[in-house]
Amino acid sequence: MPRIITLTPNPTYDFAVDADFVEPNRKLRCKNPKSHPGGGGVNVARAAHRLGADVLAILTAGGLYGDAVKGLLGEELIPIRAIPVRGETRIAFHVQDLKGDHEYRFNLPGAEMTNAEVEAMLAATDAAIRDGDYVVGSGSLPGGKPDDFWARAARIVKDKGGRFVLDSIHGVRPALDEGIYLLRLNKFEYPALAGRDLQWPDEIIAFASDIVKKGGAARVAISHGGDGAIMASADGVARAPVIKIKAESAVGAGDSFVGAIAAAMLKGADDEEALRRGAAAAAATRMTPGTALFRAEDVERLYAQATSRA
């Protein structure tokens, strides 16, 4: 059976706390500490796993935080292939200001990868892929990694009969030159590729459709905050309206969006259903505090509600 394989060259140890207030030059006493494994591909694997997909997370891991990420993934029963690296796995720190109702997110840089570590990750990808697998490359690229990393991964995936999904603005142009199955961007990322802000929805649909027409990606999904999301393909444009919820935190919402889309496509869903399930997963994750992802029952409930109103 096909599965979802995720690639995370720059994972994180996500740490979240609440603070009664956040002010400069004050000692801030925090409470409710929670930790989760993080990084784009790691979260995509966690999301898809919660939705019943067979997954494998390929990630780098170094130092104490790398061990912690592997341990947390083990607690969630996520199959992994960890590539040892000399540098320390990075940490991401999330603070919820209870007084001001603000969210503060601090992402530290990842350690540089050596050429040998890059080759080891690509070799692990090549060894893992089976025909029909979806392979999701997601998140940032750490220092020292070549810009063509995602393009090389996409070539390996295609040669093995898989479908490569890219959820990253880093190294996207070489990947599009190679040709991929699905590109996902959010409203803060697409201007870097388009060269300017675009009007929702017409200009963004035209931009996504042009990438498809030129052969860069078979599908382009763009999420646009409160406006909803679109997915362009040669068959047309699917749309998903935003799902109104009481938001707690945005951490992991985009990764949940991608994980749900991949899980739905793996089960044979068409573009519109996959996009709407992605929107439901993103909304469900925004309902959870800190760095926690969604509950599967919330995704199903929100998807059913949104579908009944369509």
Measured CA to CA, the distance from residue 264 to residue 250 in angstroms comes to 22
Measured CA to CA, the distance from residue 110 to residue 91 in angstroms comes to 8
Q: In this predicted model, what pLDDT tens digit does every residue of 274-302 receive, in sequence order?
A: 999 999 999 999 999 888 999 999 999 99
Which pLDDT score, from 0 to 100, does residue 240 have? 96
Q: Is the pLDDT of residue 49 over 90?
A: yes
Taking residues 239-257, report their average pLDDT: 93
Higher pLDDT, 291 or 70: 70
Q: Is the pLDDT of residue 111 over 90?
A: no
Which pLDDT score, from 0 to 100, does residue 301 have? 96
Query: For residue 294, what are its two tokens?
Result: 């969604």
Q: Is the pLDDT of residue 310 over 80?
A: no
Taking residues 37-58, report their average pLDDT: 98
- The DSSP code sequence of 112-157 is PPPHHHHHHHHHHHHHH--TT-EEEEES---TT--TTHHHHHHHHH
Of 69, 115, 73, 65, the C-alpha closest to 89 is: 65
Asked if residues 240 and 203 have their Cβ atoms less than 8 Å apart, the reply is no
**Domains along the chain?**
4-309 (3.40.1190.20)
Q: Look up tokens 């109104």; give the residue.
A: 244
**Percentage, residues of the chain above pLDDT 70:** 99
What's the pTM value of the predicted model, to 2 decimals?
0.96
Taking residues 251-271, report their average pLDDT: 97
Average pLDDT value over all residues in the chain:
95
Taking residues 244-267, report their average pLDDT: 95
Of 218, 214, 237, 229, the C-alpha closest to 260 is: 229
Confidence of residue 142 (pLDDT cuts 50, 70, 90): confident
Q: In this predicted model, what pLDDT tens digit does every residue of 25-45 receive, in sequence order?
A: 999 999 999 999 999 999 999
The three-point CA angle 125-127-133 to 5° equals 65
Strands 134-138 and 4-8: parallel
Confidence of residue 94 (pLDDT cuts 50, 70, 90): very high
Measured CA to CA, the distance from residue 206 to residue 84 in angstroms comes to 42
Measured CA to CA, the distance from residue 20 to residue 223 in angstroms comes to 32
Side chain identity, residue 239: R
Distances (CA, A) of 121 to 58, 132, 142, 189: 8, 20, 13, 25
Taking residues 88-105, report their average pLDDT: 94
Question: Containing H/E element for 158?
Answer: helix 149-159
Active centre residues (catalytic):
255
Q: Is the pLDDT of residue 309 over 80?
A: no
Which pLDDT score, from 0 to 100, does residue 1 have? 86
Residues facing 236 on adjacent strands: 233
Q: What are phi and psi for residue 21, nearest 5 degrees?
A: -160, 160
Which pLDDT score, from 0 to 100, does residue 283 have? 97
Measured CA to CA, the distance from residue 111 to residue 84 in angstroms comes to 12
Of 302, 277, 287, 280, the C-alpha closest to 251 is: 287
